[in-house]
Amino acid sequence: MNSNQFKILIADDNPQGAELLEAYLAETDFLVKTAGDGEQTLKMVSEWNPDLILLDIMMPRMSGFEVCKRLRSNAQTKTIPVIMVTALDQLADVERAVDAGTDDFISKPIKQNELLLRINALLKARHSANDLARTLTYLEALQLSGIQSPAR
């Protein structure tokens, strides 16, 4: 999986937190942009279409929970992997994040290797899901055209 094709949006209102995540990703070929609040995050998602979002929970103008819910309710953004990155670490916070639709949850302080492993795992899963969806669409088109798919 070639990482230079993947775009990652970091959504964090704390400049130091965003800079740390950017520094962790600097050694990769990911394209990285940042957003400073929930509303800006949604705007950047619609304009830039990232492959993955690192989403802080406690942000002004809209929490990470609400951002995630809105992403999941939109057909264009519902499959973008979201990792909630936060100082919150109580089980209730994790449950609320899962209820909002997050794919993963990581508590600060963050270890670079762990973050990169989680990012790569989610990107690989999304890539596989996209391949499967394309294959299913192709097979459905074949079936509609009356062409039989190859026997196994």
Tell me the three state secondary structure of residue 59.
Answer: coil
Name the one residue in this structure whose structure tokens are 């965003």.
Answer: 18
Query: Helices in the chain by DSSP H: which ranges?
Result: 15-25, 38-48, 64-72, 91-100, 112-145
* Domains by residue range for the chain, with CATH: 3-145 (3.40.50.2300)
> Rounded to whole angstroms, how far apart are CA atoms 77 and 47?
11
- The pLDDT tens digits of the residues spanning 52-63 come to 999 999 999 999
Residue 87 confidence class, pLDDT cut points 50, 70, 90: confident
- The pLDDT tens digits of the residues spanning 19-66 come to 999 999 998 999 999 999 999 999 999 999 999 999 999 999 999 999
Q: Is the pLDDT of residue 8 over 80?
A: yes
> Rounded to whole angstroms, how far apart are CA atoms 51 and 53?
7
> Rounded to whole angstroms, how far apart are CA atoms 24 and 41?
20
Nearest to 83 by CA among 47, 23, 129, 126: 126
Name the one residue in this structure whose structure tokens are 């989610």.
Answer: 122
User: Is residue 25 within 8 Å of residue 32, measured between CB atoms?
Assistant: yes
Q: What pTM value is reported for the model? A: 0.85
Give the Cα-Cα-Cα angle 22, 114, 73 (nearest 5 degrees): 70
Q: What is the DSSP letter of 26?
A: T
Name the one residue in this structure whose structure tokens are 């989403």.
Answer: 55
Instruction: Tell me the pLDDT of the chain averaged across its residues.
Output: 90
